[in-house]
């Protein structure tokens, strides 16, 4: 299946309708279908055959702007089993883990399939994404979401139901993405799968998880010094000379940690920066 549909709207397309108040509705087009709102109905046939960016009017006279879904729009509106990875974090994973066309990527914790869509887009037709999910119900939701967005099964994607550490059968992979409650339990398996120079990227929600995964990566001995951060997204209101930050923002959603796989048998250089006094507890400080 293709990565992106072009041309006029066709039956089966997911169309985003935006009203004058910027309220958005998602419609899957079908011949003879009708979309009902409190401002009147819209016939699907009025959209089928029209180009993207068209304006269609409801029976009540309200204009709606029609576009196909962008992936960020689809990710936050898709049916959910587990929580989705928000676009701001998915974008950082793609950029900071350096997901490139042709990359061989392993993902553990498929959730609802949002990140999987971003990864498939990034690796392109020559790449490969293998997703491991322990829960069969989550895996099925993710499969439906991914196939709905791309319009059918993806040859570049393999979905495996099972524990990552037990089911992993990949080697010489370029990137490993861990989105789970206890990613530190999977560091050894990830190290064995990654090619030297490859990147491990972990997505966690709490500072306790952040601390444990960073320390596990340090102690493992196969990775460079971990880099950890979070991304905050703030919109701006712009009306003429009235330019100010929006009243709401997308704040904390999760922490990201990346590190690179070193060559087999290489010892990482000692850290030059000493930890703060008491960072590892009083026992470690006096021991």
- Set out the domains of the chain in order of their start, with CATH numbers: 14-69 (3.10.330.20), 73-264 (3.40.50.150)
Each residue's pLDDT tens digit, 126-149: 999 999 999 999 999 999 999 988
* 179 band by pLDDT with thresholds 50, 70 and 90: very high
Q: Does the structure show a pLDDT above 90 at 236?
A: yes
Angle subtended at Cα 153 by Cα 186 and Cα 45, rounded to the nearest 5 degrees: 135
Integer Cα distance of 183 and 186 in angstroms: 5
Reduced to 3 states (helix: H, G, I; strand: E, B; else coil), residue 63 is strand
Least confidently predicted of 100-109, 163-172, 211-220: 163-172
pLDDT of residue 243: 96
Each residue's pLDDT tens digit, 60-99: 999 999 999 889 988 988 888 888 899 999 999 999 999 9
Reduced to 3 states (helix: H, G, I; strand: E, B; else coil), residue 218 is helix
Average pLDDT value over all residues in the chain: 91
* 1 band by pLDDT with thresholds 50, 70 and 90: very low
Binding residues: 112-115, 133, 179
Q: Which residue has the higher pLDDT, 283 or 223?
A: 223
pLDDT of residue 84: 85
Q: Which phi and psi (to 5°) does residue 285 adopt? A: -70, -30
The residue assigned the tokens 């392109």 is 124
Integer Cα distance of 202 and 139 in angstroms: 19
The residue assigned the tokens 């498929």 is 110
pTM for this model (two decimals) = 0.88
How many residues belong to the chain?
287
Q: What tokens appear for 167 in the block?
A: 């089911």
pLDDT of residue 273: 72
Q: Does the structure show a pLDDT above 80 at 285?
A: no
Binding residues for S-adenosyl-L-methionine: 112-115, 133, 179
Q: Which phi and psi (to 5°) does residue 138 adopt? A: -65, -40
């Amino acid at each position: 299946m293709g990565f992106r549909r072009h041309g006029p709207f066709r039956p089966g397309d997911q169309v985003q309708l935006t009203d004058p108040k910027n309220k958005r509705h998602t419609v899957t087009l079908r011949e003879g279908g009708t979309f009902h709102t409190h401002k009147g109905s819209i016939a699907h046939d009025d959209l089928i055959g029209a180009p993207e960016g068209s304006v269609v009017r409801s029976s009540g006279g309200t204009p709606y702007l029609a576009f196909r879904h962008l992936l960020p729009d689809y990710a936050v509106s898709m049916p959910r089993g587990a929580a989705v990875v928000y676009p701001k974090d998915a974008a950082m994973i793609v950029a900071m883990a350096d997901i490139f066309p042709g990359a061989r990527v392993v993902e553990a914790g498929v959730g609802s399939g949002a990140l999987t869509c971003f990864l498939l887009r990034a690796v392109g037709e020559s790449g490969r994404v293998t997703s491991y999910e322990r829960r069969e119900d989550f895996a099925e939701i993710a499969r439906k979401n991914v196939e709905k967005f791309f319009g059918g099964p993806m040859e570049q994607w393999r979905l495996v139901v099972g524990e990552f550490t037990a089911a992993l059968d990949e080697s010489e992979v370029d990137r490993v993405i861990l989105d789970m409650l206890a990613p530190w339990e999977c560091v050894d398996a990830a190290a064995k799968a990654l090619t030297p120079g490859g990147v491990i990227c972990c997505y966690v929600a709490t500072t306790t998880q952040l601390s444990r995964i960073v320390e596990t990566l340090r102690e493992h001995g196969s990775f460079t010094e971990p880099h950890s951060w979070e991304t905050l997204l703030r919109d701006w209101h712009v009306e003429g000379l009235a330019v100010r930050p929006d009243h709401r923002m997308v704040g904390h959603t999760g922490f990201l940690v990346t590190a690179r796989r070193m060559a087999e048998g290489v010892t990482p250089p000692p850290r030059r920066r000493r930890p703060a006094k008491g960072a590892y507890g009083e026992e470690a400080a006096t021991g």
